[in-house]
A and B are shown apart, each in its own frame.
Chain A
Amino acid sequence: MNRNYLIPILLILSGCVAACAQDPPPSEKSRVDARYSLSIIDDATFYGNRSEPVPEVLNQVLVEPSLSIRSHGHLTVSSSLVGLADTYSDNYTQLRVKETYAGISAGDFDFTLGRKMVRWGTGYAFTAAGVLDPPRIPTDPTDRLNLNEGRDMVKADWVRGPHAFSLAWSTAALAPASASLRDTTAFRYNVLVRGFDTALIAGNDRGGDPFGALTFTRVLRQAWEVHGEAVWRQEAAVMLGAKYTISGITFVGEFYTPPNIPYYSYMGVPQAAGRQHYAFMTAGKARLRERRGWKQWGMSGSVVANLDDRSYTPIFDGSRWFGNHFSSYVHVDIPRGTKTSEYGAAPYSAATSVGVRFQL
């Protein structure tokens, strides 16, 4: 038998055996819990001074239903889809599967099979340790249109006291070719020690190099949180960040330095450029409740910079809620730098997105 398929098969078999061996607590035997949500977004992006002969307006309509059913306290089936209709140089529609998975919970074990988003990295705008996470996009770290997709995987988790162990095998067979993913086997150990939420991650990409990572987060005093990642994959990558809260305003700063190897390849950065250094800063307030009439407004301003080629992108986000179901937003990014730099190479001088969102 091919050794690459041994781990997923063992994970599936052990999940079935453990689930059969355990009964749910009596109080949860008849419990079936179904939850759903629906989000519809209409987003228009206006590009300023395009350097290519393409339309200056991109219109997108997204319909995002999700359904989760939890039965008998230990069986979960969940699906989250995105239907996308683009109007740009031509029209196209696409169905994306954000997540679709089945989970079995048995005693201290949880088993998952399907497409699932995991969140192992601790960075807000950058991560090197989140080997199975959705990609972080520093100019849109909140994934405004919810377009991130999970990885197709078999995963087993074992939780005992403050310790959590995860073993995952992810296949790249179903991923879009443009994602340039590989089959990944990864292990994670997470523990909370003296307020440090710490994780050790190790694994291997099929046909690639093995990797290892250490992540942590820690709250300091009343207003500070610090987080970081140290990763080894051919060479070291480091991310350090902090969050500070004052008067309801949250500031996040991150410094990130990855090696310039194909795994961390970035658009516009030549291979000869060597190790890259990035900085990210954001300040935001989710609700301007102190100002009369502004309670439903949220604002944030950010900047992401490549410190080596001195290119940067200031970003502004504003949002407003109308009742419990409708909201609107504006997102502006203004890349700056020379034409050969990472952010300056963007084929427009400014991108302004406005949208309305309905949530059920």
Chain B
Amino acid sequence: MSRINCVLRVFLLLFLIGFLLTCVLVSRAAPATPDAEALLKRSDTFRNGWASYVVRVKITDFESGRPDEEHLYEVSQKGTDKTYVNFMSPRQKGEHLLMLGDDMWVYLPDTSRPVRITPLERLTGDASNGDVARTNYAADYSPVFLRTEKVGTVECYVLNLTAKRKGATYQRIVYWLRMPDARPVRAEFYLISGKHIKSATFDEYAPSSGKELLRKLTLYDEIRHNSHSVLEYSGAAPRSLPDKLFNQGRSDMF
């Protein structure tokens, strides 16, 4: 009887050790859910290299695969919620756009006043005002990790971003970030209605003033499928920008 007990005890002990080992191995083998917030913040550094900087953006619109129009902007950004955009192309010379938190103004030379932009107006243009002025997604969206997935040959994290403030350009973004450095690879943009309005591919990165930054982005119109825009970033550099540049009361100073 005591021998049976002894065998039983040894068996139970071995079973317990085996169970614990299995648990440890299984827990090590299963990938931990990535920190979506940390990934999103890291991905923003590929588009916003410094806390205060200036960058030039050239947007070329394509219709049916042929270049149609070109626009040139100088973007000055400070922190996550202050952006000033100077429109440089002949068609828009003299126009400026100011984003301050959730509020946005456009200064048009042909109207005698600054014009407040509603959230819907942020979506105007092939590349919308919001695409140029709001690139700090961690400030505007709450991320949730969805899955990992391959885009071509690149293994990616897939995040679902939901707007957390009214200043956000889109209601929802599905965002593909390269493993392991969280470099943006692809995005899909959705409206409040759930309509898939645009997609983006983050095509080229290049070193700029000591940082690896986005150099080329393509936006595809998912409503009019024959249209897309290419955004080329150049001359990104840190710049000391005074707070007063971003004050709405200086409309006549520009």
Stretch at the interface among B20-28, B105-113, B131-139, B179-187: B105-113
Residues of A within 8 A of B117 (CB): 219
A109 to chain B, nearest CB (A): 9
Give the distance in Å from the alpha carbon of A218 to the alpha carbon of B249 in the complex.
Answer: 14
Interchain CB contact under 8 A, B103 and A219: yes
Residues of B within 8 A of A327 (CB): 91
Residues of A within 8 A of B121 (CB): 245, 250
Q: Could you give, for residues 222-254 of chain B, a 1 whenever the CB lies within 8 Å of some chain A CB and a 0 otherwise?
A: 001000000000000011101110011111110
A258 at the binding interface (Cβ < 8 Å): no
B94 at the binding interface (Cβ < 8 Å): yes
Give the distance in Å from the alpha carbon of A120 to the alpha carbon of B109 in the complex.
Answer: 14
Q: Could you give, for residues 303-316 of chain A, a 1 whenever the CB lies within 8 Å of some chain B CB and a 0 otherwise?
A: 00000000000000
User: Which A residues form the contact surface with B (CB < 8 A)?
Assistant: 25-28, 37, 103, 105, 108, 110, 112, 116-124, 127, 130, 133-134, 136, 141-144, 146, 148, 157, 159, 161-164, 166, 188, 190-192, 195, 197, 199, 217-219, 221-225, 227, 243, 245-246, 248, 250, 286, 289-290, 295, 321, 324-325, 327, 359-360
B93 at the binding interface (Cβ < 8 Å): yes
Chain A CB count within 10 A is highest, among B63, B116, B250, B252, for B252
B208 at the binding interface (Cβ < 8 Å): no
The 8 Å CB contact of B238, one of A27, A133, A164, is A27
Given A119-B114, A245-B121, A325-B90, check contact A199 B249 (CB 8 Å).
yes
Give the distance in Å from the alpha carbon of A26 to the alpha carbon of B238 in the complex.
Answer: 12
Given A124-B111, A245-B121, check contact A324 B70 (CB 8 Å).
yes
A sample of 12 inter-chain contacts (CB < 8 A) reads: A110-B253, A121-B112, A124-B111, A141-B111, A143-B110, A164-B249, A219-B117, A223-B119, A224-B118, A225-B116, A243-B116, A360-B90
A27 to chain B, nearest CB (A): 5
Interchain CB contact under 8 A, B250 and A142: no
A240 to chain B, nearest CB (A): 15
Given A124-B111, A225-B118, check contact A108 B103 (CB 8 Å).
no
Given A119-B252, A142-B110, A192-B103, check contact A219 B116 (CB 8 Å).
yes
Of all chain B residues, the one with the shortest Cβ separation from A76 is B253
Interchain CB contact under 8 A, A324 and B240: no
Give the distance in Å from the alpha carbon of A353 to the alpha carbon of B252 in the complex.
Answer: 30
Give the distance in Å from the alpha carbon of A26 to the alpha carbon of B100 in the complex.
Answer: 26
Interchain CB contact under 8 A, A324 and B69: yes
Interchain CB contact under 8 A, B103 and A227: no
Interchain CB contact under 8 A, A134 and B119: no
B120 at the binding interface (Cβ < 8 Å): yes
Of all chain A residues, the one with the shortest Cβ separation from B110 is A142
Residues of A within 8 A of B212 (CB): none
The 8 Å CB contact of A195, one of B94, B103, B239, B249, is B103
Residues of A within 8 A of B93 (CB): 37, 359
